[in-house]
Amino acid sequence: MLSKITSASVHGIDAILVTLETDISRGMPGLNVVGLADMTVKEARERIRTAIINSDAEYPKGRITVNMAPAGIRKRGSHYDLGMAIGILASSGQLFDQDLRKYAFIGELSLDGSICKCSGILPMVIAMRNAGVERVIVPYANRQEAALVTGIDILPAENLVQVVSHFNLNEQLAVYNSSEYDMLEMYSCEGGLDFADVKGQEAVKRAITIAVSGGHGILMTGSPATGKTMISERIPSIMPLMTEEDVLEATIIYSVAGLLTENMPCITVRPFRQPHHRITCAGLIGGGGIPMPGEITLADKGVLFLDEVGEFDRNVIDTLRVPLEKKKISIVRHGEKYVFPADFMLVAATNPCKCGYFGDPNHECTCTRKEIKNYRSRLTGPILDRIDMHITLNPIGFDELSRVGGQSSADMREQIERVRQIQRDRYKSAGISLNGQIDDHLSDQYCALDGESADLLSEAYRKLALNPRAVLKIRKLARTIADLDDSSNVLKQHVAEAIQYREA
């Protein structure tokens, strides 16, 4: 008897539906899996056989063949176990209800029949919903993650016995009701890091407000203990709350990466990723034999903080070029293309030299000219061009440490949300949402300069030896500064301030 079971295969951060066709015929007993299955899938034969027996069901003694269609796509992972087990039981006549077309199955089986947690549940359930599947049975531990998808019934199961009982009409699996929690209500700014803790550096807070308002990348240079890391860690606290679309995209990424937990079933807080300076290219942009998201993709919709960026390998830093421009990463493995999102805010921090005190008024630099040049050469011209804002942090005086009344995260976030709403209204028909996304095609329309502003920018172009990319960055920054000042036009003072952020 032939049975067909629906499951799915994760491909990057997307998923493709897979049909598990099971046939039992006479011949030498055994389970054969065909259809470009990897070793993890083929090893399922022992898990499935033992799980069926330990679930008080009968394992067929005939020749079992499972075809995973479409056969031209590689199948990886242990989440096919449950679907194959149900296919075997259906083909051997052990399920009373044979109307399996409405169902899909995801889950790894333990030897005792328990259904274990799996990675990548969210994109698979989305693919099933889009294909018209009405109900999906998932591991109980993945119930909250799967419930983020609307329009499909989620049936969590703890073991194979419960699934068999459901189809034999003994005890029905209950549809999981996700109304017990609201993913957006899980976000809380209370008790987190706050910019009110940053003493002094009000000019830097202004720069950070501009950067977050317009989605601009920023490079901070300063001596040790000037507050670079402290400021960077607080940037997520001033970013706007995530929308439902943002939450879903970020959660899909973390689902595929296997980073979701029972206590954190979805990502509702802007990600903040701080990779070590010894990270490899694959660790930063993603990759591997089976391509997985890297730190850049894990920072999607949030912040990628490169602390002491001068200590990173130069080749690793250069891999940022395309993601900063295209906001996505394309990887090709074994003839298959994987695309990962990379819509992040880059925040980089560096010392001015190896010892950290070049230009510091309170400490003497011990580096030679050659050492300073070599240290700074880690950041190449093309990368510096792609970072919108360059600012210098100065040491804090003792009087500033005891001063109170600085801007808090709530104050800064209020300004940022106001400016972002202005941008959303402006770019409704342009296909973008932030000033930082403006390209050459849109710059003349949205970053038009009057006579004085154009003259100032022209003079800066000559004196500072700027290039066309730097000019575009300055115009975009000036547009954001104008929005902060509630100005519909980009004026001379806005261009002047934007130029300051490219001189550091």
Reading the block at residue 439, the tokens are 């390209």
Q: Give domain status of residue 210, yes or no.
A: yes
Instruction: Indicate the burial class of 10 (C-beta count within 10 angstroms; 0-12, 13-18, 19 or more).
Output: buried
Same domain for 84 and 211? no
Strand 63-69, strand 14-25: pairing: antiparallel
Provide the H-helix boundaries in 215-361: 228-233, 244-256, 281-285, 295-298, 314-318, 321-326
Q: Write out the residue range of the structural domain in which residue 94 sits.
A: 2-180
Average pLDDT over residues 299-312: 95
Question: Which residue shows structure tokens 């950070």?
Answer: 208
Same domain for 303 and 384? yes
Q: Give domain status of residue 92, yes or no.
A: yes
Distance (Å, whole) CA 86 – CA 48: 10
Same domain for 123 and 158? yes
Average pLDDT over residues 451-465: 94
List the CATH number of the domain containing 447.
1.10.8
pLDDT at residue number 262 = 81
Among 430, 465, 489, identify where a domain stops: 430
Distance (Å, whole) CA 90 – CA 4: 9
Distance (Å, whole) CA 115 – CA 81: 9
Same domain for 307 and 388? yes
End-to-end alpha-carbon separation of the chain, Å? 73
How many CB atoms sit inside 10 A of residue 18's CB?
Answer: 21
pLDDT score of 190 more than 50: no
Of the ranges 98-107, 246-255, 373-382, which one carries the lowest mean pLDDT score?
373-382
Residues 494/448, Cβ–Cβ less than 8 Å: no
Distance (Å, whole) CA 241 – CA 306: 23
Average pLDDT over residues 202-231: 94
Q: Give domain status of residue 190, yes or no.
A: no
pLDDT score of 347 more than 60: yes
Same domain for 146 and 108? yes
Q: Give domain status of residue 188, yes or no.
A: no
C-alpha distances out from residue 342 to 45, 124, 296, 386, 410, Å = 38, 21, 6, 15, 27
DSSP string, 300-355: TTSEEEETTGGGS-HHHHHTTHHHHHHSEEEEEETTEEEEEE---EEEEEE-SSSS
Same domain for 105 and 199? no
List the CATH number of the domain containing 24.
3.30.230.10
Same domain for 323 and 391? yes
pLDDT score of 186 more than 90: no
The helix/strand/coil state of 315 is: helix
C-alpha distances out from residue 63 to 26, 31, 56, Å = 6, 6, 21
Average pLDDT over residues 172-190: 62
Residues 56/161, Cβ–Cβ less than 8 Å: yes
Average pLDDT over residues 249-256: 95
pLDDT digits (tens, 9 = 90+) for 352-369: 999 999 989 889 999 999
Same domain for 216 and 91? no
The helix/strand/coil state of 401 is: helix
- CA angle (31, 34, 40) in 5-degree steps: 75
pLDDT at residue number 504 = 52
pLDDT at residue number 178 = 66
- Number of structural domains (the chain) is 3
Q: Which long-range contacts (CB under 8 A, 24 or more apart) does 372-375 make?
A: 375/310, 375/351
List the CATH number of the domain containing 282.
3.40.50.300
Among 413, 430, 447, identify where a domain stops: 430
pLDDT at residue number 182 = 52
- CA angle (162, 166, 167) in 5-degree steps: 125
Nearest in space to 154 (alpha carbons), one of 172, 169, 173, 171: 173
Nearest in space to 411 (alpha carbons), one of 237, 271, 204: 237
Residues 477/390, Cβ–Cβ less than 8 Å: no
pLDDT at residue number 503 = 66
Same domain for 73 and 150? yes
Q: Give domain status of residue 186, yes or no.
A: no
Same domain for 163 and 283? no
Same domain for 381 and 284? yes
Distance (Å, whole) CA 501 – CA 142: 46
Distance (Å, whole) CA 397 – CA 402: 10
pLDDT at residue number 180 = 44
Among 430, 465, 492, identify where a domain stops: 430
- pLDDT category at 40 given cuts 50, 70, 90 is confident
pLDDT digits (tens, 9 = 90+) for 475-491: 999 999 999 999 999 99
Same domain for 130 and 219? no
Partners of 292 in the β-ladder = 287
- pLDDT category at 335 given cuts 50, 70, 90 is confident
